């Protein structure tokens, strides 16, 4: 079985990988292991995980992982990426890849953030809330952009900000970890992949890694 470590930004992505992605990849003879990136140290030198991601922290994290796994990939949000050297997401992935230029390393940045994927199935929210009010609002957003991966990353209208406001309509507070992973699980990976082309291309690329390609790596 091929061992792939996936460096993730926080607890939400960690739970999503464990409960949604890992079972899928096992059917492709791949063991996917999410690892939350270490992002800071306190005064006593203790490491803290999750949150702010930048080039230097990615470099430090991937250097530690590369010797211990067959492949390494990443799952970081474009929104909130600290001091990003470019506003072009494909260029950012290229810059990150060139930190190592190792075929074992397959960087992926989520456009614009994890919550993007939750727009995959607006009608799900009618069942979730017991009415169609939120579902209609989400459908309006999706129709406006015509591609859920284009729902933007401004501080006011980033995907997670939109969900915070939508949940307030129902007098609920959006919890990134609890709601994010749970909704994604309910929507299902198949529907998410069919709605998010860039995300799907990443999943497709990883799923095509197999024992044959691994055996012939140079």
Measured over the CA atoms of residue 57, residue 59, residue 63 and residue 65, the dihedral's sign is positive
Average of per-residue pLDDT across 164-190: 96
| Residue of 43 and 125 predicted with greater confidence | 125
The DSSP code for 118 is: G
Ranges in the chain annotated CATH 3.40.50? 2-113+196-215
Average of per-residue pLDDT across 161-180: 95
CATH number of the structural domain 2-113+196-215: 3.40.50
User: Binning pLDDT at 50, 70 and 90, where does residue 154 land?
Assistant: confident
Q: Round to whole Å and give the CA distance between 59 and 76.
A: 13
pTM of this structure: 0.90
């Amino acid at each position: 079985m091929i061992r792939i470590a996936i460096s993730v930004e926080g607890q939400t992505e960690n739970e999503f990988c464990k409960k949604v992605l890992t079972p899928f990849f096992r059917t492709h003879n791949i063991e996917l292991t999410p690892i939350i990136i270490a992002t800071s140290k306190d005064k006593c030198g203790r490491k803290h995980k999750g949150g702010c991601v930048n080039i230097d922290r990615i470099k430090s994290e991937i250097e530690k992982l590369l010797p211990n796994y067959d492949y390494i990939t990443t799952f970081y949000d474009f929104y909130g990426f600290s001091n990003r050297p470019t506003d072009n997401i494909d260029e950012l992935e290229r810059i990150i890849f060139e930190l190592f230029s190792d075929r074992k390393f397959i960087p992926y940045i989520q456009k614009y953030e994890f919550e993007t994927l939750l727009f995959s199935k607006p009608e799900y929210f009618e069942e979730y809330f017991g009415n169609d009010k939120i579902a209609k609002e989400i459908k309006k957003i999706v129709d406006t952009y015509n591609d859920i991966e284009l729902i933007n990353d401004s501080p006011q209208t980033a995907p997670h900000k939109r969900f915070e406001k939508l949940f307030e309509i129902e007098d609920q507070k959006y919890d990134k970890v609890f709601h994010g992973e749970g909704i994604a699980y309910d929507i299902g990976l198949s529907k998410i992949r069919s709605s998010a082309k860039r995300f799907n291309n990443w999943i497709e690329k990883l799923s095509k890694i197999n024992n044959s390609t691994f055996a012939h790596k140079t």
